[in-house]
Structure 1
Amino acid sequence: MSTEDKMQGKADELKGHVKETVGHATDDQDLEAEGKGDQMKGNLKQGVEKLKDAFKK
């Protein structure tokens, strides 16, 4: 399950980056902010999984 969660976190991060870039390019501040939020969510998921892995070892 951990690998799946890591991949989901990375997917959220990438999705957020795309949203942020499109929002910036189209001057859509809401989309840009949503993208930044998705990136933070993805980074948080990845961080939690790394922490879990550290305690397993």
Structure 2
Amino acid sequence: MSKAKAKAKQVKGKMKETTGKAMDDEGMQAEGRGEQIGGKAQETAEKAADRVKKTGR
């Protein structure tokens, strides 16, 4: 997964969370938060991989 896809997952999660709040759907809110966390974790992993590539280690 690329950093762009990770960021898109975060945005999708935020939209789902917001929709869940508007609809008073706690399950949807939790699912959206989960997607955001997953996207952030993936983005962090991609950044770490980029650093490793730059340093050659």
* Structure-1-length-normalised TM-score: 0.89
2:47 aligned to which of 46, 50, 55: 50
Q: Distance in 2 between matches of 1:33 and 1:21?
A: 10
Q: Kindly, what percent of the aligned residue pairs are identical?
A: 43
Aligned to 2:38: 41
Q: Please identify runs of 4+ aligned residues in structure 1 that moved more than 3 A.
A: none
Q: Deviations over 1:6-56 (max 9, x none)?
A: 111011000000000000111000000000000001001100000001111
Q: Does 1:23 align with 2:25?
A: no
Root-mean-square deviation over aligned CA pairs: 0.9
Q: Distance in 1 between matches of 2:16 and 2:24?
A: 12
Map residues 7-22 of structure 1 onto 2, 5 A cutoff. 7-22=4-19
Q: Which runs of 5+ in 1 are unaligned?
A: none
Q: Secondary structure at the match of 2:42?
A: helix
Q: Distance in 1 between matches of 2:4 and 2:27?
A: 26
Which of structures 1 and 2 has the bigger CA Rg? 2
**Matched length:** 54
* Structure-2-length-normalised TM-score: 0.89
